[in-house]
Structure 1
Amino acid sequence: MTVERADPFWSDAELEAVPTCPICGAAASRVQYAGLSDELEGVPGQWPMLQCLTCASSYLAERPVPSAIGKAYGSYHTHVDPRSEHSRDNGSGVLWRLINGYLNYRFGAGRSPAQPSGHWLIALFPPIRLQLDFFFRHLPSTGGRLLDIGCGNGRFLLRAREAGWQVQGLDPDAKAAQAARLADLPVHVISFEDLPAAENYDVVTCSHVIEHVHSPRALLLSMRSHLRPGGMLWLATPNAHSLGHLIFREKWRGLEPPRHLQIFCIASLRKLLDDAGFEDIMFKRRGRGAAYILQASKAAMAKPGIIQRLLPVWFVDLLATLSPRFSEEIVVIARKPEV
């Protein structure tokens, strides 16, 4: 299958066929979608997607080559000033005071205004508690050295720095790095392949990046090389087996072709992490947080059906509170072995 090109946006040299699954390497597959469109950025192309018959993950049958993939990111959301986003991540109402009390207790966040009783009141509401744990990427409360790969404009780095972490970010997008520097964040325009292994970070985080890269295994090996022995990896990525994908199919926001080159399921990501040498692999419940992806999926449909129109966000959030398998995102932490 090939990408249909009605205009010269993509040349033949800028596209490559993908003969085997980029996650597990298997060749057997089935056509999942004959031609996906970019519903977010409007990048030209019809992108066929396959489902691997071995690991059950999904991947584009044809994709932009690494040197051309930047053409798909013209107005990407990580180009905005992170300080404005960071300010919107706080408030002064009663709920925000309780939230800040929980974040200060759980992560040493130092946020204000804060109500100290929030640390136990918020714990009584698991969907919100799990959402806040995701917000701080399940960081240890002790602080240390943190590397965020694919940090974008550094929005999370601001959050971690205020909690006492020594932060550093990498992103190949020069516009995103420029936005991060507006907040005096140490973000370098470099790909993960070009960063020398140092083994001196306590935590490496990687939010919604692994689905963008041409070699997921190389990314995991790189992150492992930057961790100290016993260091923690935190990773999030769309869940190919989510309820949202089941309901919205080709209009599901998590597909996002051609920027998302592959979409994982829990089993395939566990296998890849294990093969890359990680241990203590734990998939975390996401809790509240499905609203955006479900609303964006519905908005992409010209005529949503009754199921798409009536699917309650609270129900999806409840499922994601009960089990990581039902979340719109896979969230996982793992560790580099001590020896």
Structure 2
Amino acid sequence: MKQTTETTPTFFCPVCRCKEYVIVCREVPDFRFRVDGVWSSARCLNCNVIYLVAPLDDSKSPCPPPVYSQHSTPDVTPLQGKGLSGKMKEYIRKSILKKHGYNIEKGNCFLGKLLQFFPQIVLKAQWGQIIFPSAMPHGRLLDIGCGNGRFLNIMGKLGWLIYGVEPDPESALIAQTTSGALIYPSLDEIKALPFQFDIITMNHVLEHIQTPREVLNACWLLLKPAGKIAISTPNWGSLCRKVFNKYWYGLDAPRHKILYECGTLKTLLQESGFSEHIISTTSIREGMVSFRKSYFFRFGRSPSTIIKTSWFFVSMLAELCTSSLGEEIIAWARKK
């Protein structure tokens, strides 16, 4: 179907303020939480980000707190394993931590490097964290949108000095209690601190932010010279999105306000004062959850075993051709 350029004095791109756009997903309902209404997503014709044409006001609470917020105590498996299987998992985890530079007894750094070819094993060993910074003794880490503090808990045990930003007071209290980190309700309070950070992380946060340029500029100021920022966010350029479009699980209207591809996120980071960008995506094969959810949104039923198996092999073939079709973008960049 032919796409037409639209302009309006009411809506504009939240990243570059351009008023010219093309609708890419029209009248999408909230498949996930059934919030009343429909929303359209548009591609900005200037900076190419995908944005919700009329995002829902946050004060209307578009997501039920028990589901979307993290009000449960985080479960962080200790390094010690029990039994033969547990000992093997422990050795694998310690090998991967050694590869990241952590001073861990046992483990094998060479094995940790070899395991990078098996992303699902690495992800499980990293407690499910796709953002996993290398060791830095006494380094200061700020996690924006820290939820119940699970990531901070892990990083604190590995020697980082940990801080968090979490606007939900119940999640923030859990994070502070379980991790020992100082948790602040917004970046404004962080700006008053008398020190800067070695790394700032945002795990599935950027897509919820209506003013990403302002937030990234604030991160730049909060980082030490040559400090790093690490971001994970849904990939608009993913294979699953290309297949399902408005039914794609990662679209998540009306909560995901801006979506990025590798190129658009890199440009935004460059314009915010960051360099030495490393932009990648997760393995396409790791997107099976998104595939199952998207399939259910589209057809109203779960995919059969044959369909799931077919998708797995299609994903493998696609991965041989390109590395940019994964479900999530992982971006690392350094303050200039």
TM-score range, shorter chain: 0.7 to 0.9
Task: Indicate the larger mover: 156-165 or 38-47.
Answer: 38-47
Which amino acid counterpart does residue 218 of structure 2 have in structure 1? Answer: S
CA contact (8 A) 1:239 1:327 kept: yes
1:60 and 2:52 equivalent?
A: yes
Task: Give, in whole Å, the separation in 2 of the partners of 1:18 and 1:314.
Answer: 45
The within-5 A match list for 1:30-179 is 30-66=22-58, 68=59, 70-84=61-75, 86-87=76-77, 93=85, 96-107=89-100, 115-116=107-108, 118-125=111-118, 128-129=121-122, 135=129, 137-143=131-137, 144-179=139-174
Deviation at 1:37? 2.0
- The C-alpha deviation readout for 1:14-44, integer Å capped at 9, x for no partner, is xxx9611112322211222221222222222
Partners of 1:100 and 1:118 within 8 A in 2: no
Distance in 2, matches of 1:159 and 1:320, equals 31
Aligned partner (choices 275, 298, 323) of residue 271 of structure 2: 275
CA–CA separation in structure 1 for the residues paired with 2:120 and 2:199: 25
For the pair 1:196 / 2:191, whether they are aligned, the reply is yes
What residue number does 2:225 align with?
229
Paired residues of 1:152 and 1:180 also in contact (CA < 8 A): yes
Check 1:169–1:269 CA distance in 2 against 1; reply closer, same or farther (3 A cut). Answer: same
Within 5 Å, give how 1:213-292 maps onto structure 2.
213-287=209-283, 289-292=286-289
Shift of 1:245: 0.4
Q: How many residues were matched structurally?
A: 318
> In the alignment, is residue 299 of structure 1 matched against residue 289 of structure 2?
no
Structure 1 residue 304, shift from structure 2 partner: 7.1
Partner of 2:17: 25
| Stretch of structure 1 that moved more, 22-31 or 156-165 | 22-31
C-alpha displacement of 1:259:
1.1
The one-letter code sitting in structure 2 at the alignment partner of 1:290 is: G
| Cα distance change of structure 1 residues 224 and 159 upon mapping to structure 2, 3 Å threshold | same
TM-score by length of 1: 0.81
Letter of the structure 2 residue corresponding to residue 102 of structure 1: S
| Letter of the 1:106 counterpart | K
* Unaligned segments of structure 1, at least 5 residues: 1-16
Encode CA deviations 1:77-125: one digit per residue, 9 max, x unaligned: 44233433x239996526523431323212355789x754742552453
1:308 Cα offset (Å): 6.7
Query: What whole-Å deviation, never above 9, does each CA across 1:35-66 have from its counterpart, x for those lacking one?
Result: 12222222222112112223332111111235
What displacement does 1:289 show?
A: 2.8
TM-score calculated relative to the size of structure 2: 0.82
What is the rounded CA distance, in whole Å, between the counterparts of 2:79 and 2:50 in structure 1? 33
Matched AA of 2:199 = V
Relative to structure 1, is the Cα distance of residues 127 and 183 closer, same or farther in structure 2, using a 3 angstrom cutoff?
closer
Deviations 1:117-176 (A, max 9, x none): 742552453664478678262412224110001111111111111211111111111122
Moved more, 136-145 or 231-240: 136-145
Going from structure 1 to structure 2, the CA distance change for 1:191 and 1:266 (only over 3 Å counts) comes to same
SS of equivalent to 2:175: helix
| 3-state secondary structure, aligned to 1:167 | strand
CA distance in 2, matches of 1:150, 1:186: 13
Provide the rounded CA distance (Å) in 1 between the counterparts of 2:17 and 2:160. 37
2:214 aligned counterpart, secondary structure: helix
Distance change in 2, residues 1:296/1:220 (3 Å):
same
